[in-house]
Structure 1
């Protein structure tokens, strides 16, 4: 009986492994689609296809090469947040004395940003007459290592801060031929100009904004503002109805912490809309939870030495969003990371977090099919485009893949079209 049981187990494993393999014709099709005579031969392309059930690699091409991952970096941020933050944001650390409360921000991005469940900071501060704010626990600079300097006036490059409000963004609307901005305290810093600009543009070194009345369009709906303690005090005092003061004291060893909002909606927005600001603030919250200081570099170092020590190739990982060109990951490490997320999350949560081809998030307008077959995180910046996630084959089974492209001279839309041809072929053969 024992021998029969062992034989049955062996046969099941063997049949599963055989089923997981590509046959010769399927393998050659992939070789031709990604090989020397293909579109992808003109630049660096890496690909890995992995069977999650049998845990076998079905196909790989340059999976050991490092690529600029762009926003697929957010998968690392997602994993770190799931492991460290659990189910809630890290909003404030504080100490109280009589009617005075001293607070240190912990990186929570949700205060008056988008439609998130709000940390009720006004109610939290209600018992106190005096609010003293410190940012002495903020170790990371406003911009990440390797970010492009001329992204400073685009909404995808909002500054990092310990206690952001309004997503550290100014909202812009067109009223007649002029901009109307919110928060309204910025309105007095809006000036007309004769420069040939079509949008409201911020000065590089200050929160002064300029527009040309003759051709103002207001297509850029949000513009980052420069964060400073003085500006935060003004915005926070207005939002809470209490006067805030600034005193950059160090965080005492003995203090309390407040977790103000659910985490999952923030993770979902980061993944579906590829929100860079959320990704950066999430890594600050991870650092705060671990070390009681906001230091993205230290948080990354900790994750790589603990939960991610076993990745096939050591990543060069420098930020939470993937805005930096110093981020470098291999396709096989991306697959290994995704498998960790896949094993960690219940299916229903994983599907909510992943953009779906033709249906949601950054894949809403690509990989369209009557039955969705691509569930993956995108990553795009100049000359780099990647896709990492799940593909559902005609058999109904799911496979993990990483498809990474760097140094191409084409438009990203052209690269996506060629990638889609490969993924459709793969769907039909699996």
Structure 2
């Protein structure tokens, strides 16, 4: 809910109308102050640390805030995410045909291909360095929700992975180190599957394990 006061007023106005209470002449509009007063300032941790913590524990509010930071720069936040600006930002990173509706990936209308995700990881590994990308991604068996990916399996230490799930959706994107010593980016997405999440998770994890042992 980007603007709680405005949302409350809209609901309140509708309730008045539903109860036959006259609301003629009452308008509900979003009026932003031109000159905002600074109430408090806080020096946050470095952006790369915030990104890592966000990935480790899938903090959606942080994801949204990071998206706003990317597209708004030093402009004051207004509570609304400009989808066109997000798309424009990510086009140079291989997402020209993607539809990114929000910063955390929960919007049902998001359309992103696994190939785009693997290409993105490959590109960022070249741009930032593989060590930096691996540090940002959760390390299986150690950090956040990735702690349970192939739990207690010897290959666990060779996987860096970010998971994403909602009802009937289970996705994994990351990097693994094959038995040959080479590193591979992977992205596996399942939508509208029949069955339990735990069964899909197990199947995907076993698939990744097979790739590690074969490559």
Runs of 4+ aligned residues of structure 1 deviating over 6 Å after TM superposition are none
The alpha-carbon deviation at position 329 of structure 1 amounts to 0.7
Query: Counterparts of 1:18-417 in structure 2 under 5 Å?
Result: 142=2, 249-251=33-35, 260-261=43-44, 262-289=46-73, 291-294=75-78, 297-298=81-82, 300-309=83-92, 311=94, 314-368=97-151, 369-371=153-155, 372-417=157-202
| d(CA) in 1 for partners of 2:80, 2:97 | 18
- The residue that corresponds to 1:33 in the other structure is none
Q: Is the alpha carbon distance of 1:367 and 1:345 closer, same or farther for their aligned partners in structure 2, counting shifts above 3 Å?
A: farther
Cα RMSD over matched residues?
Answer: 2.8
| d(CA) in 1 for partners of 2:80, 2:214 | 42
Q: Write out per-residue CA displacement over residues 318-376 of structure 1, whole angstroms, 9 at most, x where no aligned residue.
A: 11111211111111111222223222323443222211222222110122333412211
More strand by share: 1
- 8 Å contact kept, 1:287–1:296: no
- In structure 2, the gaps of 5 or more residues are 5-10, 13-30
- Count of aligned positions: 184
TM-score for the superposition, normalised by structure 1:
0.39
- In structure 1, the gaps of 5 or more residues are 1-140, 144-158, 160-204, 207-246, 253-257
- 8 Å contact kept, 1:351–1:375: yes
The alpha-carbon deviation at position 290 of structure 1 amounts to 5.9
More relative contact order, 1 or 2 (CA 8 Å, 6+ apart): 1
The alpha-carbon deviation at position 415 of structure 1 amounts to 0.2
- 8 Å contact kept, 2:68–2:81: no
Tell me the SS of whatever aligns to 2:85. helix
Tell me the SS of whatever aligns to 1:403. strand
- 8 Å contact kept, 1:283–1:320: yes
Tell me the SS of whatever aligns to 1:364. helix
- 8 Å contact kept, 1:283–1:296: no
More helix by share: 2
| d(CA) in 1 for partners of 2:93, 2:50 | 28
Q: Is the alpha carbon distance of 1:348 and 1:294 closer, same or farther for their aligned partners in structure 2, counting shifts above 3 Å?
A: farther
Q: Which has the larger radius of gyration?
A: 1
Tell me the SS of whatever aligns to 2:73. helix
